[in-house]
Amino acid sequence: MASPVRLLFFAAGRRLNRNLNLVKRPTIPVATAQLLRRIALAYPETEESVVCAKAAFKARGKSFLFAGVDDSGCNIMLKLGDSLPEATALAKESPDCYIVGAHGWVTTKFANGQSPPAGLFEKWIDESFRLLAPKQVVAILTEKRGRDKIEVQKPKRSRK
C-alpha cells in the first residue's frame, strides 16, 4: 500500500522515485486543472482530499468529483443525471475520451495537450454536486444564487 505522502504527491501531479525524490509528471494544461479545482471549490462546504490516488472534492463528506493526473493525461469522474444522454452521445463520438458507466457515473480522459469542450465541465460539475451533495448544502447553494439574483434586480423607486 502506498504511503499517504506518495498519494498526496501523486494526486498533485507529481510522483516520487524510489529514493523519495520528487519527479515532475507531464500534466494537462495547468490552466485546465486549476479551472476544474476552482469550479469545484466554489461550491458551499466543499473541501479537497485524496481518494484512490485522485483528488476528491467533497461536500460534507459526500464526493461529487474525482480528478487524477497520470503520465498519459488527466481523468475526471463525476455523476450525471439529466446530462447523461449528452455524455452517452459524446462517448459514441469519442470512446477514448468519454466512458459512461453504471448508475450515471461518467469518466472522461484527456491526453496531454487535449482540453475539454468549453463550458461542459462547469455544467457537469454543477449537476454532480446537486445530485450527490447533502440536500441542506444544495439548499444553501440555491438560496445563495437566489439572493444574488435579487441583488442584481434592484426595486424601482416610485416618484412622488
All 3 cell numbers of residue 15?
Answer: 510522483
Distance CA 64, CA 48 (A): 11
3-state helix, strand, coil in the chain (%, to 5): 40, 30, 30
For the entire predicted model, the pTM comes to: 0.71
Non-local (6+) Cβ contacts of 107 within 8 A are: 75, 76, 77, 98, 99, 101
pLDDT tens digits in sequence order for the chain, 160 residues long: 444 444 444 444 444 444 444 444 444 445 566 778 889 999 999 999 988 888 899 999 999 999 887 777 778 999 999 999 999 999 999 998 999 999 999 999 887 777 777 788 899 999 999 999 999 999 988 777 655 443 333 444 555 5
Q: Of 1.10.10.10, 3.30.70.360, 1.20.58.760, 3.90.1150.30, which CATH number belongs to 27-147?
A: 3.90.1150.30
**Residue recorded with cell 465541465:** 121
Task: Give residue limits of the domains in the chain.
Answer: 27-147
